[in-house]
Amino acid sequence: MLFEFRQSLRLQAFRFSQDRTQGFSKTEAHRMIETLQANIVAGRLMIPPIEDWARVYSIAEELSAQHTIQGGHRSFDLLHVATALHVKAGRFMTFDTRQAALAKAAGLKV
């Protein structure tokens, strides 16, 4: 879910603009988005199509039932992890500590 990753970069830039002790600069966020796109174009990062969203939602529901009460996970975090599980991702990237904990608990390499 590229949207979630790009959104997290933009949100960190916003946080930095509000309080210079968190996040990172707008320039750094743009650089990371450009690097992400370059990695996609070069084939270092593959974005598989999702053909069975019903299965992704089912996995997200299972993750929610197992982990949200204890971990406080948001819907997009659950969908992001569920998508990674569905496509059998080799690695999971995130800046979000709760999302990382969820991905690890689900068996993903973070």
pLDDT, tens digit (0-9, with 9 covering 90-100), for 8-31: 899 999 999 998 888 899 999 999
Tell me, what's the pLDDT at 23?
87
- Residue closest to 29 by CA, chosen among 18, 7, 13: 13
Calculate helix-pair angle for 75-86, 97-105, nearest 10 degrees: 40
What is the 3-state secondary structure of the chain? CHHHHHHHHHHHHHHHHHCCCCCCCHHHHHHHHHHHHHHHHCCCCCCCCCCCHHHHHHHHHHHHHHHHHHHCCCHHHHHHHHHHHHCCCCCCCCCCHHHHHHHHHCCCCC
Residue type, 8: S
pLDDT, tens digit (0-9, with 9 covering 90-100), for 52-83: 999 999 999 999 999 999 999 999 999 999 99
Task: Report whether pLDDT(90) > 90.
Answer: no
Q: Which residue has the tokens 């299965």?
A: 55
pTM (predicted TM-score)? 0.77
- How do the domains of the chain map onto residue ranges? 1-47, 48-110
Tell me, what's the pLDDT at 45?
87
